[in-house]
Amino acid sequence: MDQKIIIKICVGTYCHVMGGYKLRELRQQLPEALQDKVKVEASVCLGCSTLKEKPQPPYAEINGKLMSDASLEKIIEELQKIV
């Protein structure tokens, strides 16, 4: 895999108060096998609060695919499926 997997973590106020602050630890929690395959970015808002169907915050985006109710465990699980 030459291209890195892009993960955007919402750091907006809504996601932060709903548990998104825990997602900032993602880089440190990644298994060693994933460290070089992932690029983690912060995003002020992923636009999810405007969706008609309200998914549960906090939000993350993995290669453009939205993940609601994101947790470190769910993100790492999804990354392992991709790799």
In order along its 83 residues, the chain shows pLDDT tens digits of 468 999 999 999 988 999 988 998 999 999 999 999 999 999 988 877 666 676 788 999 999 999 999 999 999 999 999 98
Domain count, the chain: 1
Compute CA distances 42 → 18, 29, 81, whole Å: 16, 16, 22
User: pTM surpassing 0.75?
Assistant: yes
Closest CA to 82 of 60, 70, 65: 65
Boundaries of domain holding 58: 5-82
